[in-house]
Structure 1
Amino acid sequence: MNRVPNPLIDELAGDLVPVRPISLARGVALVALAAIATVVAVELFHGLWRGAFSGQASGFFFIANGMLGLLGAASALAVLRMASPRVGNGHEGARWSAAMLGLLPISALLVLGFDGLTSELTHDVEGFHCFLAGSGFSLLTAGALVLWLRSGAPVSIGSASLYTGIASGAIGSFAYGMACPIDTMGHLGIWHVAPVALCALVGKLVIPRLVRW
């Protein structure tokens, strides 16, 4: 049986080029590099709090920043997996980490009460600065994850964008948290969690326009 030449197929095939497969390990390395660079940037611009390593920090300091770090890692891993969708891709770790972090502002409200919470919001001079700094230091991680999503083929762009915002906000707030000497429940539970909420909202609204394919 003779094949009928099809110039259209030949033209399309001639434009094909090899594509490097997506490797989860490379994505993890990229996010880890962005997180390390963020911590280094905090050290250069603000200086890490040395008291955290000399016994001056409270246990809540390590609990709050540890929860932020775990949420950032779990959410970033979820985003990396979303770039190459497959059957069985789950994001339970990111969901549970976000739920755990949500306990911080709830605990702050229960401990401080409404009047104490109002006082924290209006009289904590450093609080708003921590909120802005944590949000600003999220940009490196956000950029790394957006680049990764653009190199892949995320199916649920909305979810990927939301988790990108959560991951970048959590890592940015974690990094700046290493420079903040205020380790009260009210301060950490409100001002260091707020960047995660802001970045999640910004990610949900802005990032879909950057990764559509």
Structure 2
Amino acid sequence: MDDPTQALIDRISADAAPVRPFRMGRGLALAGLAFVVTIIATLFLLGARHGLMSGEFSVYFVVVNGLLLVLGLSCVTTVVAMASPHVGTGHEGPKWAIAMAGVLPAAGVLAASAPDGVGLLHVEGIHCMYMGLAASVLIAAALFVWLRRGAPVSPKLAGLYLGIGSGALGSVANGMACADDSIAHLGIWHMAPVVIGALVGRYVISRWLRW
């Protein structure tokens, strides 16, 4: 190797330093910690809903929050994986979870618009929507930081899943304090943060994920 080439290599590698391996487990741990902190903060600020500690849940509470949890975990896992893409990697998992959770808003609208329903708009529901969105912020921030450290090749899809996942887990956290177990309330107002999160992630956050 001639001297100019060796000198060029020496200059390029002069500032090189070892870096920490980019492992998926660290991203999942970061998102998990954000979720746990969010739940603790929600219970501390709003208090636990009646029956939470004694296991007195309605069927709607279990079904809706269960679907939201599955949706959130599926999207979060995919978002963390998208930060370090591999050849041939697919991201189909969240689509099935989205399809399953998609029946909840329809059920909520039908229940709310029934003759004996509460109507599509009520103050308690709007409050729950705001609280669900607030509870999603820390989780979204953790996922955003992780994606910015990586190299997602599909920023729009990554932003979409980030918004859906953080919105779903934020609604789960808020559900630990919400006392309304009706399908009209849960199907509309606890799904609203997911829809809003999806729009914000797809059209706003994705712009900051380009590299």
Give the TM-score normalised by structure 1: 0.91
Partners of 1:69 and 1:56 lie apart in 2 by 19
With over 3 angstroms needed to count, the CA separation of the structure-2 counterparts of 1:126 and 1:21, relative to structure 1, is same
Q: How does 1:177-196 map to 2 (within 5 A)?
A: 177-196=175-194
Partners of 1:98 and 1:36 lie apart in 2 by 23
Partners of 1:200 and 1:115 lie apart in 2 by 31
Q: What is residue 173 of structure 2 aligned with on the other side? A: 175
Q: What is residue 212 of structure 1 aligned with on the other side? A: 210
SS at match of 1:138: helix
Q: What is residue 104 of structure 1 aligned with on the other side? A: 104
Does the 8 Å contact 1:79/1:160 carry over to 2? Answer: yes
Report which stretch shifted further, 104-113 or 144-153.
104-113
Deviation at 1:135, TM superposition (A): 0.5
Q: What is residue 200 of structure 2 aligned with on the other side? A: 202
SS at match of 2:87: coil
* Aligned residue identity for 2:206: P
Q: Is 2:51 the partner of 1:47?
A: no
Deviation at 1:116, TM superposition (A): 6.5
Deviation at 1:193, TM superposition (A): 0.1
Q: What is residue 35 of structure 1 aligned with on the other side? A: 35
With over 3 angstroms needed to count, the CA separation of the structure-2 counterparts of 1:120 and 1:52, relative to structure 1, is farther
Gaps of 5+ in 1: none
Does the 8 Å contact 1:76/1:145 carry over to 2? Answer: yes
Does the 8 Å contact 1:120/1:187 carry over to 2? Answer: no
SS at match of 2:86: coil
* Aligned residue identity for 1:172: G
Partners of 2:53 and 2:63 lie apart in 1 by 14
Does the 8 Å contact 1:81/1:89 carry over to 2? Answer: no
Deviations 1:46-87 (A, max 9, x none): 012141343543111011011111111000000001000012
Deviations 1:119-140 (A, max 9, x none): 5223x22100000000011011
Q: How does 1:2-21 map to 2 (within 5 A)?
A: 3-6=2-5, 7-21=7-21
Q: What is residue 24 of structure 1 aligned with on the other side? A: 24
Partners of 1:31 and 1:88 lie apart in 2 by 25
Q: Is 2:92 the partner of 1:92?
A: yes
Matched residue pairs, number? 210
Deviation at 1:28, TM superposition (A): 1.1
SS at match of 2:90: coil
Tell me which of 138, 141, 147 is aligned to 1:140: 138
Deviation at 1:9, TM superposition (A): 3.7
Partners of 2:148 and 2:50 lie apart in 1 by 38
Percent identity between matched residues is 48
